[in-house]
């Protein structure tokens, strides 16, 4: 996946509103299996 593809995917996620920010919310999503991508 090229850098442009990553940027496009991030823009799509932001547009759909399915973005979680913060460590506590991210950990909760990972533990429950609802996270598809985590960017650190």
pTM comes to: 0.58
> pLDDT for 1-40, tens place per residue?
677 788 888 888 889 888 888 899 999 999 999 998 888 8
- What's the per-residue H, E or C state across 1-40? CCHHHHHHHHHHHHHHCCCCCCHHHHHHHHHHCCCCCCCC
Dist CA 11 CA 24 (whole Å): 23
CA distances from 37 to 18, 20, 32 (A): 11, 10, 13
The pLDDT value recorded for residue 12 is 85
At residue 1, the pLDDT reads 61
Contact (Cβ atoms closer than 8 angstroms) between residue 35 and residue 29: yes
């Amino acid at each position: 996946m090229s850098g442009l593809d990553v940027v496009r995917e991030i823009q799509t996620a932001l547009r759909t509103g399915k973005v979680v920010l913060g460590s506590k919310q991210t950990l909760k999503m990972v533990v429950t299996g609802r996270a598809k991508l985590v960017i650190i």
